[in-house]
Structure 1
Amino acid sequence: MAKVPAAKAPVAKPSPAKGVSLDVRQFRVGADDDGIRLDRWFQRHLPDIGFNTVSRWARTGQLRVDGARAAPGDRVAAGQSIRVPPAEPKAAEAAKPRRERPGLSDDQTAFAQGMVIHRDAQAIVINKPPGLATQGGTKTDEHVDGLLDALEFELEQRPKLVHRLDKDTSGALLVARTARSAAYFAKAFSSRTARKVYWAIVIGVPSINDGMIELPIAKQPGTGGEKMHVDEEEGLPSRTRYRVIERAGNRAAWVELQPHTGRTHQLRVHMAAIGHPIVGDGKYGGKDAFLSGTISRKMHLHARRIRVDHPDGGRVDVRADLPEHFAASLISLGFELSAGDLPLDEEVERKPTREDEKKIARAHAKQVRKGRRGERRSRGPGEERDFRKR
């Protein structure tokens, strides 16, 4: 039986109107579409067919997956066959002007590809420099999103952003190379299974070396959403773990930050709220966020490490080198660069505690009890009476 290529319709007979086919069409679900909803599949591959049409086909039994009736909300799997009824004439619509992205210069392409620190079939990780926005906005023309055409490489499809870094924050930024990996990584970030580790230099030294900041964050009124603040009544729950790596007397500390939630400017707001703003963060620390001497006035916040499960198995686990100003500040303050990478909790080998041993014993006893109940159920009535006589 001939193999039907993914998301490509067979050659149709001449049709009476543009976009209309007189034949039932068969499509094979590709690997990049594995697990998506059927209506989403139509949006990707047959955007001219509206949701109402798809719904009507489903209600009348004309839309089928592997021969079975299907609904728009059903999820499809790679290799399945989608039966699509003949296309229908559409009312003529005024053509919408298509916004073309400007082509990239050789310098822009070289710059974008020079940021890449990891690349595989599903993911790219770049080391974003400070001062480069992740996405465009008002008065923001230079951004990572505008450079993604340079990162297609051999796949010849535009990568997709799945998370963000602030403009003045440097470091590891993961980009998905396919639609399938974009959905997979987006879920990992939203469910907080992805781990992100940041380095920062902060003013002063926290009194607790390893702590958890739990302060709700909301948009600050009157700032147009440009600034966040701690709001105990209306803020969203926000958690940040910090660990002091080294201290420079009482002047400053080099800290590791792990966000357990993903609020806008969370790390910056939390550190300022406990009295230790990030060096260079005038937005949240004011004039007190700057050190005198040779220390740069740029933001000292860097996404050092990103670790996330890979859609094809294994993990993406990448570290990004520091920008020049941050590395120079560490040296100027007398910090030892080799001290920075602390192990994550699950990476630390430790002996079982007394509480761990109790949990293991309780779990074992539970399994023994379940086994005994299973033995009693497997005996016949006669066997049960004989057992009691003995």
Structure 2
Amino acid sequence: MTSEQYQQKLVVDKGGIRIDVWLGDNIDSISRSRLQKLISEGQVIVNQQVCESKKTILKTGDEVIVRIPPPVSSHLIPEAIPLDILYEDEYLLIINKPANFVVHPAPGHSQGTLVNALLSHCPDLKGIGGVERPGIVHRLDKDTTGAMVVAKTEPVLHHLQGQIKAKTAKREYLGVVYGSPSVSSGIVNLPIGRHPCDRKKMSILSEDKGGKPAVTHWLLKERIGNYSLIHYELETGRTHQIRVHSSHIGHPIIGDPLYSSHGKSVGVNLTGQALHAFRLTLTHPITNNTLEAIAPLPQEFEKLLRILRLKIHS
């Protein structure tokens, strides 16, 4: 990580626009909120004068200098936790996350998280939002396994998040569920929000009550007696989305402690729910090449399928 401050100099080509808006449109590498913070910290200079307000209106021909301080060290402790890396370059990496692995530090999980591991694995991070930390593009639940992408720089983080928002990034999952759907495919388009009574859970919740749009496509891959292997593709990325939608249509994920009322009598002692992000397809923000990362099924998942298949033939 560099300890030197650097700066960008720009000339306003068209005036009459607020400085934070204009900078946001002309500097792709820094988020709008980060630019506003730099303004408030006196790091933005207009015609050799410190800009004092994000609402300052620029004039054509104004010279603007944005000073970007070096990222400050994170308060988090780097930990040499092994990572299963599917792809890595200087801009991003894609990992195969195991079960029982928390992504972000939080109360009760200040250590042993994916972020702690990434800080150790990537000691030269250039910073996200002015802090030396990795950019988590999208999350997987603690006990959901599979492919997830992490940005090493702020511009790459914004680009990848934009792909997810624009639905050009493709996230595919495999899950083993209870029961056998009567049809071979479907779409669940139901908003999801925080459960009104149990704060650990999410639920189907109308948008006027705080629910956010959530769309899940599913395809029946295999009927296995009283169970099924389902392929899921996400349009949106709400917390617990697949788990909530699967449970709602009457086919909860095996091993799901929150959304399944079934016991664990499936012949396998699962670490988490039988849900795996097996394929992630995106456009590389720098090279513009298509990246496809495939995460092999965890041993527990393969064992579960093997035992369920044996049961229907015994």
TM-score when scaled to structure 1? Answer: 0.62
Determine which of 42, 50, 54 is the counterpart of 2:51. 54
Counterparts in 2 of 1:221 and 1:37: CA distance versus 1, 3 Å? closer
Equivalent residue for 2:89? 120
Mapping 1:340-351, distance limit 5 Å: none
Q: CA deviation at 1:218?
A: 2.1
Higher relative contact order (CA 8 A, sep 6+): 2
Please tell me whether Structure 1 or Structure 2 has the larger radius of gyration of its CA atoms.
1
Equivalent residue for 1:149? 119
Determine which of 262, 282, 298 is the counterpart of 1:323. 298
Which 5+ residue runs of structure 1 have no aligned equivalent? 1-6, 10-25, 72-81, 85-97, 336-390
Equivalent residue for 1:314? 289
Counterparts in 2 of 1:39 and 1:28: CA distance versus 1, 3 Å? farther
Counterparts in 2 of 1:289 and 1:212: CA distance versus 1, 3 Å? farther
Secondary structure of 1:271's counterpart equals helix
Mapping 1:122-141, distance limit 5 Å: 122-141=91-110
Contact 2:266–2:304 under 8 Å retained in 1:
no
Contact 1:198–1:301 under 8 Å retained in 2:
yes
In 1, Cα distance between equivalents of 2:309 and 2:217: 24
Equivalent residue for 1:305? 279
In 1, Cα distance between equivalents of 2:219 and 2:240: 19
The reply on whether 1:242 has 2:218 as its aligned counterpart is yes
Write the letter of the residue equivalent to 1:292.
V
Q: CA deviation at 1:300?
A: 0.2
Q: CA deviation at 1:35?
A: 5.2
Mapping 1:164-179, distance limit 5 Å: 164-179=139-154
In 2, Cα distance between equivalents of 1:301 and 1:256: 10
Equivalent residue for 1:214? 189
Mapping 1:1-390, distance limit 5 Å: 8=5, 27=8, 34=28, 36=30, 40=34, 43=37, 48-49=41-42, 53-55=50-52, 68-69=61-62, 82=65, 100-104=75-79, 108-109=80-81, 111=82, 114-141=83-110, 142-152=112-122, 158-224=133-199, 226-232=200-206, 234=209, 235-249=211-225, 251-286=226-261, 288=262, 290-294=264-268, 296=270, 298-312=272-286, 313-334=288-309
Secondary structure of 1:332's counterpart equals helix
Q: CA deviation at 1:213?
A: 1.3
TM-score when scaled to structure 2? Answer: 0.75
Residues 15-58 of structure 1: CA deviation (Å, up to 9, x unaligned): xxxxxxxxxxx7468xxx645468845857x9842679424699
Which 5+ residue runs of structure 2 have no aligned equivalent? 11-26, 68-72, 128-132
Secondary structure of 2:309's counterpart equals coil
Counterparts in 2 of 1:150 and 1:271: CA distance versus 1, 3 Å? same
RMSD: 3.4
Secondary structure of 1:124's counterpart equals strand
Write the letter of the residue equivalent to 1:130.
A
Counterparts in 2 of 1:210 and 1:139: CA distance versus 1, 3 Å? same
Point out the structure with the larger strand share.
2
Q: CA deviation at 1:279?
A: 0.2
Write the letter of the residue equivalent to 2:285.
P
Residue identity over aligned pairs, in percent, reads: 28
In 1, Cα distance between equivalents of 2:285 and 2:56: 34
Contact 2:9–2:66 under 8 Å retained in 1:
no
